[in-house]
Chain A
Amino acid sequence: MTWSELSELLAVGLQETAWMVFVSTVLTAVGGLLLGILLVLTAPGGMLAAPAVSSVLGFIVNVTRSLPFIILLVAVIPFTRAVVGTTIGTDAAIVPLTIGAIPFFARIVEAALREVPPDVVAAATAMGATRRQIVGKVLLREARPGLVAGLTITVIALVGYSAMAGVVGGGGLGDLAIRYGYQRFDTQVMIATVIALIVFVQLVQTAGDILVRRLSHR
Protein backbone atom coordinates (compact mmCIF):
# COMPACT_ATOMS: atom_id res chain seq x y z
CA MET A 1 0.00 0.00 0.00
CA THR A 2 1.39 3.43 -0.93
CA TRP A 3 1.56 6.40 1.43
CA SER A 4 -1.12 8.24 -0.48
CA GLU A 5 -3.46 5.25 -0.33
CA LEU A 6 -2.82 4.90 3.38
CA SER A 7 -3.34 8.56 4.13
CA GLU A 8 -6.52 8.50 2.05
CA LEU A 9 -7.84 5.57 4.10
CA LEU A 10 -6.84 7.24 7.36
CA ALA A 11 -8.40 10.56 6.39
CA VAL A 12 -11.71 8.90 5.59
CA GLY A 13 -11.57 6.81 8.80
CA LEU A 14 -10.73 9.81 10.97
CA GLN A 15 -13.45 11.87 9.35
CA GLU A 16 -16.05 9.16 9.95
CA THR A 17 -14.94 8.66 13.56
CA ALA A 18 -14.95 12.42 14.18
CA TRP A 19 -18.44 12.70 12.72
CA MET A 20 -19.86 9.83 14.77
CA VAL A 21 -18.24 11.10 17.95
CA PHE A 22 -19.26 14.70 17.29
CA VAL A 23 -22.94 14.04 16.64
CA SER A 24 -23.33 11.55 19.46
CA THR A 25 -21.48 13.91 21.83
CA VAL A 26 -23.90 16.73 21.07
CA LEU A 27 -26.91 14.44 21.57
CA THR A 28 -25.36 12.92 24.71
CA ALA A 29 -24.54 16.31 26.19
CA VAL A 30 -28.16 17.40 25.90
CA GLY A 31 -29.73 14.07 26.88
CA GLY A 32 -27.25 13.28 29.65
CA LEU A 33 -27.54 16.76 31.14
CA LEU A 34 -31.34 16.52 31.26
CA LEU A 35 -31.28 13.00 32.68
CA GLY A 36 -28.59 13.91 35.22
CA ILE A 37 -30.54 16.97 36.39
CA LEU A 38 -33.68 14.83 36.72
CA LEU A 39 -31.78 12.23 38.75
CA VAL A 40 -30.64 14.94 41.19
CA LEU A 41 -33.97 16.76 41.41
CA THR A 42 -36.14 13.67 41.90
CA ALA A 43 -33.81 11.98 44.39
CA PRO A 44 -35.05 11.74 48.00
CA GLY A 45 -34.56 15.15 49.59
CA GLY A 46 -34.17 16.76 46.17
CA MET A 47 -36.01 19.85 44.98
CA LEU A 48 -38.64 17.77 43.14
CA ALA A 49 -38.34 14.68 45.33
CA ALA A 50 -40.25 11.84 43.64
CA PRO A 51 -39.00 8.47 44.87
CA ALA A 52 -40.89 6.47 42.21
CA VAL A 53 -39.59 8.54 39.29
CA SER A 54 -36.13 8.53 40.80
CA SER A 55 -35.91 4.75 41.13
CA VAL A 56 -37.35 4.13 37.65
CA LEU A 57 -34.82 6.52 36.11
CA GLY A 58 -32.04 4.98 38.15
CA PHE A 59 -33.07 1.49 37.06
CA ILE A 60 -33.12 2.42 33.37
CA VAL A 61 -29.71 4.03 33.68
CA ASN A 62 -28.30 0.98 35.44
CA VAL A 63 -29.74 -1.46 32.90
CA THR A 64 -28.16 0.45 30.02
CA ARG A 65 -24.91 0.73 31.90
CA SER A 66 -24.82 -3.02 32.59
CA LEU A 67 -24.72 -3.96 28.93
CA PRO A 68 -21.30 -4.08 27.31
CA PHE A 69 -21.43 -1.69 24.38
CA ILE A 70 -20.94 -4.40 21.79
CA ILE A 71 -24.10 -6.12 23.05
CA LEU A 72 -26.09 -2.89 23.26
CA LEU A 73 -25.02 -2.19 19.69
CA VAL A 74 -26.65 -5.38 18.46
CA ALA A 75 -29.61 -5.23 20.83
CA VAL A 76 -30.83 -1.85 19.59
CA ILE A 77 -30.60 -2.75 15.88
CA PRO A 78 -34.40 -2.79 15.41
CA PHE A 79 -34.64 0.64 17.01
CA THR A 80 -31.78 1.93 14.88
CA ARG A 81 -33.52 0.73 11.73
CA ALA A 82 -36.73 2.47 12.79
CA VAL A 83 -34.94 5.77 13.45
CA VAL A 84 -32.34 5.99 10.67
CA GLY A 85 -33.77 3.57 8.17
CA THR A 86 -30.57 1.49 7.99
CA THR A 87 -28.33 -0.40 10.38
CA ILE A 88 -25.10 0.08 8.45
CA GLY A 89 -22.83 3.14 8.25
CA THR A 90 -21.85 6.02 10.47
CA ASP A 91 -25.34 7.50 10.83
CA ALA A 92 -26.66 4.16 12.02
CA ALA A 93 -23.82 3.89 14.53
CA ILE A 94 -24.75 7.23 16.10
CA VAL A 95 -27.96 5.73 17.54
CA PRO A 96 -26.39 3.05 19.78
CA LEU A 97 -23.49 5.38 20.59
CA THR A 98 -25.91 7.98 21.94
CA ILE A 99 -28.03 5.42 23.78
CA GLY A 100 -24.92 3.98 25.38
CA ALA A 101 -23.37 7.31 26.33
CA ILE A 102 -26.39 9.19 27.72
CA PRO A 103 -26.67 7.12 30.94
CA PHE A 104 -22.88 7.19 31.31
CA PHE A 105 -22.78 10.96 31.09
CA ALA A 106 -25.97 11.32 33.17
CA ARG A 107 -24.25 9.61 36.12
CA ILE A 108 -21.27 11.95 35.75
CA VAL A 109 -23.63 14.95 35.63
CA GLU A 110 -25.40 13.63 38.73
CA ALA A 111 -22.11 13.30 40.62
CA ALA A 112 -20.92 16.75 39.50
CA LEU A 113 -24.16 18.44 40.60
CA ARG A 114 -24.01 16.71 43.97
CA GLU A 115 -20.56 18.20 44.49
CA VAL A 116 -22.14 21.67 44.77
CA PRO A 117 -22.17 22.36 48.54
CA PRO A 118 -25.68 22.11 50.03
CA ASP A 119 -25.29 25.38 51.89
CA VAL A 120 -24.74 27.22 48.61
CA VAL A 121 -28.08 25.87 47.41
CA ALA A 122 -29.62 26.73 50.80
CA ALA A 123 -28.22 30.27 50.52
CA ALA A 124 -29.86 30.72 47.11
CA THR A 125 -33.14 29.31 48.45
CA ALA A 126 -32.96 31.68 51.41
CA MET A 127 -32.54 34.60 48.99
CA GLY A 128 -35.81 33.65 47.37
CA ALA A 129 -34.41 32.09 44.19
CA THR A 130 -36.79 30.06 42.03
CA ARG A 131 -36.06 26.39 41.33
CA ARG A 132 -35.21 27.30 37.76
CA GLN A 133 -32.69 29.88 38.99
CA ILE A 134 -31.19 27.38 41.41
CA VAL A 135 -30.70 24.76 38.69
CA GLY A 136 -29.43 27.21 36.08
CA LYS A 137 -27.49 29.79 38.06
CA VAL A 138 -26.30 27.69 40.98
CA LEU A 139 -26.13 23.95 40.25
CA LEU A 140 -25.14 23.96 36.56
CA ARG A 141 -22.98 27.05 36.82
CA GLU A 142 -21.09 25.90 39.92
CA ALA A 143 -20.64 22.39 38.52
CA ARG A 144 -19.33 23.62 35.18
CA PRO A 145 -15.71 22.48 35.65
CA GLY A 146 -16.92 19.01 36.68
CA LEU A 147 -19.39 18.87 33.80
CA VAL A 148 -16.73 19.77 31.23
CA ALA A 149 -14.28 17.27 32.72
CA GLY A 150 -17.06 14.66 32.60
CA LEU A 151 -17.91 15.47 29.01
CA THR A 152 -14.25 15.02 28.10
CA ILE A 153 -14.30 11.56 29.63
CA THR A 154 -17.52 10.83 27.74
CA VAL A 155 -16.06 11.95 24.38
CA ILE A 156 -13.10 9.66 24.89
CA ALA A 157 -15.40 6.79 25.85
CA LEU A 158 -17.34 7.52 22.65
CA VAL A 159 -14.14 7.27 20.61
CA GLY A 160 -13.70 3.82 22.12
CA TYR A 161 -17.33 2.82 21.52
CA SER A 162 -17.20 4.14 17.95
CA ALA A 163 -14.40 1.71 17.16
CA MET A 164 -16.73 -1.15 18.03
CA ALA A 165 -19.28 0.24 15.62
CA GLY A 166 -16.84 -0.94 12.99
CA VAL A 167 -17.83 -4.52 13.84
CA VAL A 168 -21.30 -3.97 12.41
CA GLY A 169 -20.06 -1.96 9.46
CA GLY A 170 -20.22 1.39 11.19
CA GLY A 171 -17.19 2.90 9.49
CA GLY A 172 -14.46 4.97 11.07
CA LEU A 173 -11.04 4.05 12.44
CA GLY A 174 -12.34 0.89 14.15
CA ASP A 175 -13.72 -0.35 10.85
CA LEU A 176 -10.34 0.34 9.25
CA ALA A 177 -8.48 -1.56 11.95
CA ILE A 178 -10.74 -4.59 11.64
CA ARG A 179 -10.78 -4.81 7.86
CA TYR A 180 -7.09 -4.11 7.26
CA GLY A 181 -5.32 -4.84 10.50
CA TYR A 182 -7.32 -7.89 11.63
CA GLN A 183 -8.70 -9.49 8.49
CA ARG A 184 -5.75 -8.72 6.15
CA PHE A 185 -2.88 -8.74 8.66
CA ASP A 186 -1.85 -5.29 7.40
CA THR A 187 0.41 -4.10 10.23
CA GLN A 188 1.09 -0.80 8.55
CA VAL A 189 -2.59 0.22 8.61
CA MET A 190 -2.94 -1.14 12.14
CA ILE A 191 -0.09 1.01 13.45
CA ALA A 192 -1.33 4.06 11.57
CA THR A 193 -4.80 3.59 13.08
CA VAL A 194 -3.42 3.25 16.59
CA ILE A 195 -1.36 6.42 16.19
CA ALA A 196 -4.33 8.31 14.78
CA LEU A 197 -6.48 7.26 17.75
CA ILE A 198 -3.81 8.22 20.29
CA VAL A 199 -3.42 11.67 18.74
CA PHE A 200 -7.19 12.12 18.56
CA VAL A 201 -7.73 11.23 22.25
CA GLN A 202 -4.77 13.38 23.36
CA LEU A 203 -6.23 16.39 21.56
CA VAL A 204 -9.66 15.90 23.14
CA GLN A 205 -8.19 15.47 26.64
CA THR A 206 -5.89 18.50 26.32
CA ALA A 207 -8.72 20.70 25.06
CA GLY A 208 -10.91 19.50 27.92
CA ASP A 209 -8.21 20.16 30.52
CA ILE A 210 -7.61 23.68 29.27
CA LEU A 211 -11.32 24.47 29.39
CA VAL A 212 -11.69 23.04 32.91
CA ARG A 213 -8.76 25.13 34.13
CA ARG A 214 -10.35 28.26 32.68
CA LEU A 215 -13.71 27.58 34.31
CA SER A 216 -12.45 26.52 37.70
CA HIS A 217 -12.17 29.17 40.41
CA ARG A 218 -12.21 26.97 43.47
Chain B
Amino acid sequence: MYVIEIAGLRKTYRAKGRRDRAVVAVDGVDLSVAEGDVFGVLGQSGAGKSTLLRCVNMLERPDEGTVKVGGVDLTALDRRGLREARHGIGMIHQHFALLSSRTVAGNVAFALEVTGVPRNERRERVAELLELVGLGGRADAYPSQLSGGQKQRVGIARALAARPKVLLSDEATSALDPETTDSILRLLLDLNQRLNLTILLITHEMNVVKRICRSAAVMRDGRFVESGAITDLLDRPDSELARGLFPLDAPTSLDGHTVVDVTVSGDGADAPLLAEVARRFDIDVRIMAGSVEQLAATRAGRFRLAVPAGDDAPLNYLSERGARIGRPTAPSPIEIQGAAS
Protein backbone atom coordinates (compact mmCIF):
# COMPACT_ATOMS: atom_id res chain seq x y z
CA MET B 1 0.00 0.00 0.00
CA TYR B 2 1.26 3.46 -0.86
CA VAL B 3 1.23 6.08 1.88
CA ILE B 4 2.32 8.91 -0.40
CA GLU B 5 1.04 9.10 -3.96
CA ILE B 6 2.00 12.04 -6.13
CA ALA B 7 0.86 12.33 -9.73
CA GLY B 8 1.73 14.87 -12.38
CA LEU B 9 3.14 17.39 -9.91
CA ARG B 10 4.16 20.70 -11.39
CA LYS B 11 5.24 23.93 -9.68
CA THR B 12 6.46 27.08 -11.37
CA TYR B 13 7.77 30.21 -9.69
CA ARG B 14 7.27 33.51 -11.41
CA ALA B 15 9.78 36.25 -10.88
CA LYS B 16 7.94 39.18 -9.30
CA GLY B 17 6.31 41.40 -11.90
CA ARG B 18 7.94 39.55 -14.80
CA ARG B 19 5.78 36.86 -16.32
CA ASP B 20 8.42 35.96 -18.85
CA ARG B 21 10.93 34.92 -16.18
CA ALA B 22 9.32 31.76 -14.88
CA VAL B 23 11.33 29.06 -13.14
CA VAL B 24 9.94 25.54 -13.35
CA ALA B 25 10.92 23.97 -10.03
CA VAL B 26 9.01 20.70 -10.34
CA ASP B 27 8.19 19.60 -13.86
CA GLY B 28 5.80 16.67 -13.83
CA VAL B 29 6.82 14.29 -11.04
CA ASP B 30 5.08 11.02 -10.21
CA LEU B 31 6.08 9.45 -6.92
CA SER B 32 4.68 6.59 -4.85
CA VAL B 33 6.09 5.72 -1.45
CA ALA B 34 5.05 2.42 0.10
CA GLU B 35 4.14 2.12 3.77
CA GLY B 36 7.27 1.58 5.88
CA ASP B 37 9.63 2.53 3.07
CA VAL B 38 12.55 4.93 3.32
CA PHE B 39 12.55 6.85 0.06
CA GLY B 40 15.37 9.21 -0.83
CA VAL B 41 15.22 11.90 -3.50
CA LEU B 42 18.75 12.67 -4.52
CA GLY B 43 19.71 15.76 -6.43
CA GLN B 44 21.92 18.79 -6.47
CA SER B 45 20.75 22.16 -5.22
CA GLY B 46 18.31 23.73 -7.64
CA ALA B 47 17.04 20.34 -8.84
CA GLY B 48 13.62 21.09 -7.35
CA LYS B 49 13.70 18.47 -4.60
CA SER B 50 13.01 20.96 -1.82
CA THR B 51 9.95 22.29 -3.66
CA LEU B 52 8.81 18.72 -4.24
CA LEU B 53 9.04 17.94 -0.52
CA ARG B 54 7.25 21.15 0.46
CA CYS B 55 4.42 20.21 -1.88
CA VAL B 56 3.85 16.97 0.04
CA ASN B 57 2.52 18.88 3.07
CA MET B 58 1.30 21.86 1.03
CA LEU B 59 3.86 24.33 2.35
CA GLU B 60 3.96 25.04 -1.38
CA ARG B 61 0.79 24.68 -3.38
CA PRO B 62 1.41 22.76 -6.62
CA ASP B 63 0.19 24.34 -9.86
CA GLU B 64 -0.84 20.97 -11.25
CA GLY B 65 -1.14 17.41 -10.05
CA THR B 66 -2.42 15.60 -6.99
CA VAL B 67 -0.74 14.81 -3.68
CA LYS B 68 -2.29 12.02 -1.67
CA VAL B 69 -1.06 11.17 1.81
CA GLY B 70 -2.78 8.23 3.50
CA GLY B 71 -5.32 8.20 0.67
CA VAL B 72 -6.41 11.83 1.22
CA ASP B 73 -5.91 14.30 -1.62
CA LEU B 74 -4.32 17.29 0.12
CA THR B 75 -4.81 19.61 -2.86
CA ALA B 76 -8.59 19.32 -2.40
CA LEU B 77 -8.73 20.16 1.33
CA ASP B 78 -9.85 23.42 2.90
CA ARG B 79 -7.69 25.12 5.54
CA ARG B 80 -9.08 23.21 8.49
CA GLY B 81 -8.90 19.88 6.70
CA LEU B 82 -5.32 20.60 5.69
CA ARG B 83 -4.34 21.44 9.28
CA GLU B 84 -5.71 18.10 10.44
CA ALA B 85 -3.97 16.25 7.62
CA ARG B 86 -0.69 17.95 8.57
CA HIS B 87 -0.89 16.46 12.06
CA GLY B 88 -0.31 13.10 10.37
CA ILE B 89 2.79 14.33 8.52
CA GLY B 90 5.93 15.07 10.53
CA MET B 91 8.71 17.18 9.11
CA ILE B 92 12.34 17.80 10.03
CA HIS B 93 14.48 20.60 8.67
CA GLN B 94 18.06 21.23 7.63
CA HIS B 95 18.51 24.05 10.13
CA PHE B 96 16.29 22.39 12.75
CA ALA B 97 13.76 25.29 12.89
CA LEU B 98 13.38 25.12 16.67
CA LEU B 99 11.79 27.83 18.80
CA SER B 100 14.73 29.58 20.45
CA SER B 101 12.54 30.97 23.22
CA ARG B 102 11.43 27.55 24.43
CA THR B 103 13.31 24.77 26.14
CA VAL B 104 13.75 21.33 24.58
CA ALA B 105 10.64 20.13 26.41
CA GLY B 106 8.82 23.33 25.41
CA ASN B 107 9.61 22.75 21.74
CA VAL B 108 8.16 19.26 21.84
CA ALA B 109 5.20 20.49 23.89
CA PHE B 110 4.52 23.11 21.20
CA ALA B 111 3.76 20.35 18.70
CA LEU B 112 1.37 18.80 21.22
CA GLU B 113 -0.32 22.16 21.87
CA VAL B 114 -0.84 22.61 18.15
CA THR B 115 -2.35 19.13 17.89
CA GLY B 116 -4.70 19.85 20.77
CA VAL B 117 -3.30 17.37 23.32
CA PRO B 118 -4.66 18.38 26.77
CA ARG B 119 -2.18 20.01 29.13
CA ASN B 120 -2.14 17.17 31.68
CA GLU B 121 -1.17 14.60 29.06
CA ARG B 122 1.58 16.71 27.52
CA ARG B 123 4.24 16.35 30.17
CA GLU B 124 4.24 12.57 30.07
CA ARG B 125 4.21 12.45 26.26
CA VAL B 126 7.08 14.97 26.07
CA ALA B 127 9.20 12.79 28.39
CA GLU B 128 8.33 9.72 26.34
CA LEU B 129 9.31 11.43 23.05
CA LEU B 130 12.58 12.78 24.44
CA GLU B 131 13.42 9.29 25.69
CA LEU B 132 12.64 7.91 22.23
CA VAL B 133 15.22 10.19 20.56
CA GLY B 134 17.80 9.81 23.33
CA LEU B 135 17.50 13.27 24.88
CA GLY B 136 16.02 12.27 28.22
CA GLY B 137 18.37 14.44 30.29
CA ARG B 138 18.21 17.68 28.29
CA ALA B 139 14.55 18.60 28.72
CA ASP B 140 15.28 21.96 30.36
CA ALA B 141 18.07 23.10 28.03
CA TYR B 142 17.49 25.81 25.44
CA PRO B 143 18.26 25.02 21.79
CA SER B 144 21.22 27.43 21.85
CA GLN B 145 22.85 25.18 24.46
CA LEU B 146 22.64 22.07 22.28
CA SER B 147 24.90 20.62 19.60
CA GLY B 148 23.61 20.27 16.03
CA GLY B 149 22.88 16.59 16.47
CA GLN B 150 20.96 17.22 19.68
CA LYS B 151 18.96 19.98 17.99
CA GLN B 152 17.98 17.59 15.21
CA ARG B 153 16.93 15.04 17.82
CA VAL B 154 14.59 17.67 19.29
CA GLY B 155 13.32 18.29 15.75
CA ILE B 156 12.64 14.58 15.33
CA ALA B 157 10.90 14.30 18.72
CA ARG B 158 8.74 17.27 17.79
CA ALA B 159 7.92 15.83 14.38
CA LEU B 160 6.77 12.57 15.98
CA ALA B 161 4.62 14.24 18.65
CA ALA B 162 1.34 13.75 16.83
CA ARG B 163 2.17 10.10 16.02
CA PRO B 164 2.42 10.70 12.27
CA LYS B 165 2.52 7.88 9.73
CA VAL B 166 4.87 9.85 7.50
CA LEU B 167 8.07 11.79 8.16
CA LEU B 168 9.39 14.30 5.65
CA SER B 169 13.08 15.08 5.95
CA ASP B 170 14.40 18.24 4.31
CA GLU B 171 18.20 17.77 4.16
CA ALA B 172 18.05 16.82 7.84
CA THR B 173 21.73 15.92 8.10
CA SER B 174 23.26 18.44 5.69
CA ALA B 175 24.26 20.83 8.47
CA LEU B 176 25.86 18.08 10.58
CA ASP B 177 29.36 16.62 10.70
CA PRO B 178 29.87 13.03 9.45
CA GLU B 179 29.72 11.29 12.84
CA THR B 180 26.61 13.18 13.90
CA THR B 181 25.07 12.49 10.50
CA ASP B 182 25.63 8.79 11.13
CA SER B 183 23.95 8.87 14.53
CA ILE B 184 20.94 10.76 13.18
CA LEU B 185 20.62 8.35 10.24
CA ARG B 186 20.77 5.42 12.67
CA LEU B 187 18.01 7.02 14.71
CA LEU B 188 15.83 7.54 11.62
CA LEU B 189 16.33 3.94 10.52
CA ASP B 190 15.53 2.75 14.04
CA LEU B 191 12.30 4.80 14.13
CA ASN B 192 11.39 3.55 10.67
CA GLN B 193 11.63 -0.02 11.91
CA ARG B 194 10.15 0.39 15.40
CA LEU B 195 7.23 2.64 14.47
CA ASN B 196 6.78 1.46 10.87
CA LEU B 197 7.31 5.12 10.00
CA THR B 198 7.36 5.92 6.31
CA ILE B 199 10.19 8.35 5.54
CA LEU B 200 10.48 10.56 2.47
CA LEU B 201 13.76 12.45 2.47
CA ILE B 202 15.56 14.77 0.15
CA THR B 203 19.31 15.03 0.15
CA HIS B 204 22.32 15.90 -1.94
CA GLU B 205 24.46 13.38 -0.07
CA MET B 206 24.89 9.95 -1.65
CA ASN B 207 25.90 8.68 1.78
CA VAL B 208 22.36 9.26 3.13
CA VAL B 209 20.86 7.12 0.37
CA LYS B 210 23.50 4.49 0.94
CA ARG B 211 22.90 4.32 4.67
CA ILE B 212 19.13 4.30 5.05
CA CYS B 213 17.13 4.31 1.80
CA ARG B 214 15.42 1.28 0.32
CA SER B 215 14.00 3.28 -2.58
CA ALA B 216 15.35 6.33 -4.30
CA ALA B 217 14.93 8.78 -7.12
CA VAL B 218 17.50 10.90 -8.90
CA MET B 219 16.12 14.37 -9.60
CA ARG B 220 17.44 16.88 -12.10
CA ASP B 221 15.87 20.03 -13.57
CA GLY B 222 12.55 19.35 -11.84
CA ARG B 223 12.19 15.79 -13.09
CA PHE B 224 12.96 12.28 -11.93
CA VAL B 225 15.75 10.86 -14.06
CA GLU B 226 15.14 7.45 -12.50
CA SER B 227 13.26 6.14 -9.50
CA GLY B 228 12.33 2.92 -7.82
CA ALA B 229 13.57 0.31 -5.36
CA ILE B 230 17.35 0.53 -5.05
CA THR B 231 17.72 -3.18 -5.79
CA ASP B 232 15.84 -2.57 -9.08
CA LEU B 233 17.87 0.52 -9.93
CA LEU B 234 21.10 -1.41 -9.43
CA ASP B 235 19.84 -3.89 -12.04
CA ARG B 236 19.64 -1.21 -14.70
CA PRO B 237 22.81 -1.08 -16.73
CA ASP B 238 22.86 2.68 -17.02
CA SER B 239 21.58 3.66 -13.57
CA GLU B 240 22.94 7.01 -12.41
CA LEU B 241 22.28 5.97 -8.85
CA ALA B 242 24.40 2.83 -9.23
CA ARG B 243 27.17 4.94 -10.73
CA GLY B 244 26.79 7.40 -7.90
CA LEU B 245 26.82 4.78 -5.16
CA PHE B 246 29.93 3.14 -6.57
CA PRO B 247 31.96 5.85 -8.25
CA LEU B 248 34.44 4.61 -10.84
CA ASP B 249 36.90 6.81 -12.71
CA ALA B 250 36.51 7.81 -16.33
CA PRO B 251 36.91 4.69 -18.51
CA THR B 252 40.35 3.72 -19.77
CA SER B 253 41.13 1.03 -22.32
CA LEU B 254 43.59 -1.85 -22.05
CA ASP B 255 45.26 -3.38 -25.13
CA GLY B 256 43.89 -6.77 -26.07
CA HIS B 257 41.21 -6.60 -23.41
CA THR B 258 37.52 -5.87 -23.21
CA VAL B 259 36.74 -3.44 -20.39
CA VAL B 260 33.31 -3.69 -18.75
CA ASP B 261 31.52 -2.39 -15.66
CA VAL B 262 29.96 -5.19 -13.62
CA THR B 263 27.30 -4.64 -10.95
CA VAL B 264 26.40 -7.34 -8.45
CA SER B 265 23.85 -7.22 -5.64
CA GLY B 266 22.28 -9.45 -3.03
CA ASP B 267 23.94 -12.84 -2.69
CA GLY B 268 25.98 -12.17 -5.82
CA ALA B 269 27.90 -9.44 -4.03
CA ASP B 270 29.71 -11.94 -1.85
CA ALA B 271 29.90 -14.89 -4.25
CA PRO B 272 33.42 -15.64 -5.57
CA LEU B 273 32.26 -14.87 -9.11
CA LEU B 274 35.54 -13.53 -10.48
CA ALA B 275 37.52 -16.49 -9.19
CA GLU B 276 34.97 -18.82 -10.75
CA VAL B 277 35.25 -17.12 -14.12
CA ALA B 278 39.02 -17.15 -14.02
CA ARG B 279 39.14 -20.85 -13.18
CA ARG B 280 36.39 -21.95 -15.51
CA PHE B 281 37.69 -20.16 -18.61
CA ASP B 282 41.33 -20.16 -17.62
CA ILE B 283 41.74 -16.43 -18.19
CA ASP B 284 43.22 -13.54 -16.28
CA VAL B 285 40.57 -11.18 -14.99
CA ARG B 286 41.87 -7.78 -14.00
CA ILE B 287 40.00 -5.64 -11.52
CA MET B 288 40.72 -2.06 -12.56
CA ALA B 289 38.51 -0.47 -9.91
CA GLY B 290 35.59 -1.31 -7.71
CA SER B 291 34.11 -1.90 -4.29
CA VAL B 292 31.54 -3.88 -2.36
CA GLU B 293 29.35 -2.04 0.13
CA GLN B 294 26.60 -2.70 2.60
CA LEU B 295 23.63 -0.55 1.61
CA ALA B 296 20.46 -0.28 3.66
CA ALA B 297 18.64 -1.91 0.79
CA THR B 298 21.06 -4.71 -0.02
CA ARG B 299 24.68 -5.67 -0.22
CA ALA B 300 26.09 -4.66 -3.57
CA GLY B 301 29.27 -4.13 -5.51
CA ARG B 302 30.46 -2.65 -8.74
CA PHE B 303 33.71 -3.39 -10.57
CA ARG B 304 35.50 -2.39 -13.71
CA LEU B 305 36.97 -5.54 -15.18
CA ALA B 306 39.32 -6.21 -18.06
CA VAL B 307 38.98 -9.65 -19.68
CA PRO B 308 40.90 -10.90 -22.76
CA ALA B 309 39.20 -9.61 -25.91
CA GLY B 310 37.53 -11.88 -28.45
CA ASP B 311 35.66 -14.33 -26.23
CA ASP B 312 32.19 -13.42 -24.89
CA ALA B 313 31.78 -16.62 -22.91
CA PRO B 314 33.22 -15.34 -19.59
CA LEU B 315 30.98 -12.27 -19.65
CA ASN B 316 27.95 -14.34 -20.60
CA TYR B 317 28.69 -16.60 -17.67
CA LEU B 318 28.79 -13.61 -15.31
CA SER B 319 25.41 -12.47 -16.67
CA GLU B 320 23.95 -15.91 -16.05
CA ARG B 321 25.13 -15.74 -12.47
CA GLY B 322 23.15 -12.51 -11.91
CA ALA B 323 25.77 -9.86 -12.55
CA ARG B 324 24.86 -6.89 -14.77
CA ILE B 325 27.42 -6.17 -17.44
CA GLY B 326 27.63 -2.72 -19.00
CA ARG B 327 29.97 -0.69 -21.11
CA PRO B 328 32.29 1.45 -19.02
CA THR B 329 30.59 4.74 -18.32
CA ALA B 330 31.82 8.13 -17.33
CA PRO B 331 31.12 9.30 -13.79
CA SER B 332 27.62 10.74 -13.43
CA PRO B 333 27.19 14.27 -12.09
CA ILE B 334 25.87 12.94 -8.78
CA GLU B 335 29.03 10.95 -8.18
CA ILE B 336 30.83 14.14 -7.31
CA GLN B 337 28.52 14.56 -4.32
CA GLY B 338 28.93 10.92 -3.34
CA ALA B 339 32.68 11.11 -3.42
CA ALA B 340 32.74 14.27 -1.35
CA SER B 341 30.64 12.94 1.51
A interface residue numbers (CB < 8 A to B): 117, 119-120, 122-130, 133, 137-138, 141-142, 144, 215, 217-218
Contacts and interface: CB of A to CB of B under 8 A. Distances in A.
Interface string B49-63: 000001001010000
B97 A127 contact: no
17 contacts: A119-B95, A119-B97, A120-B97, A122-B97, A123-B91, A124-B114, A126-B168, A127-B86, A127-B110, A127-B114, A127-B162, A129-B114, A130-B83, A133-B113, A137-B113, A141-B101, A217-B101
Contacts of A127: 86-87, 91, 110-111, 114-115, 158, 161-162
Contacts of B95: 117, 119
Contacts of A130: 83, 114
B151 to A, nearest CB: 12
B341 interface: no
Given A127-B86, A129-B114, A218 B99 contact: no
Interface string B69-90: 0000000000000111111010
B94 to A, nearest CB: 8
A167 B114 CA distance: 52
Given A123-B91, A127-B87, A217 B100 contact: yes
A218 B100 contact: yes
B101 A126 contact: no
A124 B111 CA distance: 8
B317 interface: no
B301 interface: no
Interface size class of B (residues with CB under 8 A): 20 to 34
Given A123-B91, A137-B113, A217-B144, A128 B98 contact: no
Contacts of A122: 54, 59, 93, 97
A122 B54 CA distance: 10
Given A119-B95, A127-B158, A218-B144, 16 more contacts: A120-B98, A122-B59, A122-B97, A123-B93, A125-B86, A127-B86, A127-B91, A127-B111, A127-B115, A128-B82, A128-B83, A128-B87, A128-B114, A141-B99, A142-B100, A217-B144
Nearest to A138: B99
Contacts of B86: 125-128
Nearest to B107: A123
B235 to A, nearest CB: 36
Interface in B299-338: none
Which 3 A-B residue pairs are closest in the complex by CB-CB distance? A128-B86, A123-B97, A128-B83
A123 to B, nearest CB: 4
A24 to B, nearest CB: 28
A126 B95 CA distance: 15
Nearest to B115: A128
Interface centre among A119, A124, A218 (most CB of B within 10 A): A119
B142 interface: yes
B95 to A, nearest CB: 6
A142 B114 CA distance: 16
A144 B162 CA distance: 27
A124 B86 CA distance: 10
Interface centre among A120, A129, A138, A217 (most CB of B within 10 A): A217
B222 interface: no
A90 B128 CA distance: 58
A137 B143 contact: no
Contacts of B143: 217
A142 B100 CA distance: 7
Nearest to A137: B110
A138 B83 CA distance: 16
A117 B94 CA distance: 13
